[in-house]
Structure 1
Amino acid sequence: MKWSEICIQTTNEAIEPISNILHETGASGLVIEDPQDLVSTMESPYGEIYELDPNDYPEEGVRIKAYLPVNSFLGETIDQIKMAINNLLIYDIDIGKNEVTLSEVNEEEWSTAWKKYYKPVKISKKITIKPTWEEYTPVSTDEIIIELDPGMAFGTGTHPTTVLSIQALEQYLKKDDIVIDVGCGSGILSIASSLLKAKKVYAFDLDDIAITSTEQNAKQNNLEGKIEAKQNNLLDHVNIKADIIVSNILAEIIVRFVTDAWDNLKDGGFFITSGIIQNKKQLVKDKIVEQGFEIVAVNEMEDWISIVAKKG
């Protein structure tokens, strides 16, 4: 089979929404070439990503690559992707150069090319993310290993928004907590919660492919039965009393379900939000405080914000 590689040069701010757009159009093997990975690797207090080559990364902005099968619908699919990316401007998301290029690759190149970007990486005091095909030996007895196949959905889990979410889970999650993951994507936050000894995790996403991905990754980590993944729009019609609700999605989406988060949290429960860019921080903080939450932590990594709030 022939595959077409679509490459989009954009900004760090646009990584998450463009990744979602590509995933929703059926793209496979997502690659993010972000020069910040090289910088943050060297500065990380937890560990390093091994064998990354600076020559693979752009000098300006970021490149997002994905692979689409060459068929009679390819032209229409590309047009849909371009339109969806342009529509991000409505949400004041900086899409940068927004240069889109296409190139053809064969089956063998497609199946292996993107894997070189994904190596084991320690993202918090306890948690290391390991691609399924990589060998890795834990460096401490209490280290938690998450096995992830980035080809399934939403990248490797090493983006700052995900790292901030997992670090917050590690700090605030207690054994036997009930957790809700809103917009679960690949399921990495659900998996992290379960491995941190949550009693039960409910994972919701509007995208049925994300639900399949969460279920597959949960199985890869031997967590069947501990994570319940279901297609759902945010917290619509959900009635679960959780100790923690975690969500790594756009700020504009977070503010839509703050009330539902409040209703589904136990008293004293924590609302962990990420995926927030600097100029949307106040928007989210205001909405959370207006609902009655107490903000207990605001954490930053690169240009991204995570907010932890507590129900009184």
Structure 2
Amino acid sequence: MKWTELSIYTTNEAIEPISNIIHEAGASGVVIEDRQDLERIWEDRFGEIYDLNPDDYPEEGVRLKAYLPVNSFLGETVSEIKQAINNLLLYDIDIGLNKITLSEVNEEEWATAWKKYYKPAKISERVTITPTWEDYQPVSTDELIIELDPGMAFGTGTHPTTVLSIQALESHLQNGDIVFDVGCGSGVLSIAAALLGADKVYAYDLDEVAIQSTKLNAKVNKVDEKMQVKQNNLLQHVTGTADVIVANILAEIILRFEKDAFDRLVPGGIFITSGIIQKKKSAVKNALEEAGFDIVEINQMEDWISIIAQKPEGSR
């Protein structure tokens, strides 16, 4: 079979929404070539465990790559992707250059092209993310290893929004907690929560590809018995309560269910939000406070913001 490599030149801000668009169009994986990765400085205790080749990255901005089968519907699919990306402007998302190129690749090139971009990365005090094909050995007894296959996942789990979310889970999750993961994508946050001591994790996503990806990755990481994965729109029709709710999605989506999150948390429960760009920080913070939350902390990595909020004790 022949495949088409779809390259989209865009901005860091648009990575996650465009990745979702590509997955919804039928691509099984997305390669993220972010120029900022070459300049990123991690804190001393964290860091990528590999060297990056500048020749593999665009001269500026971000390049997303995905692979689509060459068939009679390819032209229509590409047109739909272009339109969906242009529609992001309606949400005040900077899509940058928005240049799209196509090139044909053979089966072998498609199967291996993205692997060179994905190596083990330690992203918090305890959590390291590694691809399934790497023989990575932990360097400490309390290190937690998450194995992901980006051929079926939404990215590699090392984007700043994911890193901020996992670091927040590591800081605030307690053994035995119940966790809701809203917009689970690859399931990386659900898996992290399970490994960090959650008693039960409920993972929700509207996209069927994300549901299957989360189920697969949960089995690979041997935490599937702790997880319940369900196709669902945010927290609609969700019953029960959680100790922690985590949502690594667009700010515009967070603003659609902050009140539902408040209602579904136990008193004293924690709401971890990520995927927030700088210019949306105030809107999300204000909405959380209006819903009844206390802001616990606001963290930033590069241009991305994570807000951790708490439902006050004594609240209903």
TM-score normalised per structure 1: 0.98
Pair 1:57 & 2:53 matched: no
Aligned to 2:142: 142
Pair 1:23 & 2:45 matched: no
Alpha-carbon offset, residue 44 of structure 1: 5.7
- Write the mapping of 1:36-51 to structure 2, written as runs, cut at 5 A: 36-40=36-40, 45-51=45-51
Aligned to 2:3: 3
Aligned to 1:32: 32
Alpha-carbon offset, residue 47 of structure 1: 2.4
Aligned to 2:102: 102
Question: Structure 2: how far apart are the matches of 1:189 and 1:163?
Answer: 9
Name the SS of the counterpart of 2:239 in structure 1: coil
Amino acid at match of 2:15: I
Pair 1:264 & 2:229 matched: no
Aligned to 1:66: 66
Amino acid at match of 1:126: R
User: RMSD over aligned Cα, in angstroms?
Assistant: 0.9
- Write the mapping of 1:288-307 to structure 2, written as runs, cut at 5 A: 288-307=288-307
Aligned to 2:170: 170
Unaligned runs of 5+ in 1: none
Q: Check conservation: 2:244, 2:270, Cα contact below 8 A.
A: yes
- Write the mapping of 1:71-86 to structure 2, written as runs, cut at 5 A: 71-86=71-86
Aligned to 2:114: 114
Question: Structure 1: how far apart are the matches of 2:49 and 2:113?
Answer: 17
Q: Which moved more, 1:263-272 or 1:46-55?
A: 46-55
Aligned to 1:123: 123
Q: State the aligned residue count.
A: 312
Percent of pairs identical after alignment?
Answer: 71
Q: Check conservation: 1:41, 1:48, Cα contact below 8 A.
A: no
- Write the mapping of 1:195-210 to structure 2, written as runs, cut at 5 A: 195-210=195-210
Q: Which moved more, 1:132-141 or 1:299-308?
A: 132-141
Alpha-carbon offset, residue 225 of structure 1: 1.6
Q: Check conservation: 2:177, 2:200, Cα contact below 8 A.
A: yes
Q: CA deviation digits over 1:67-126, x for unaligned, max 9?
A: 000000000000000000000000000000000000000000000010100000000000
4+ long deviations beyond 3 Å: 41-45
Aligned to 2:285: 285
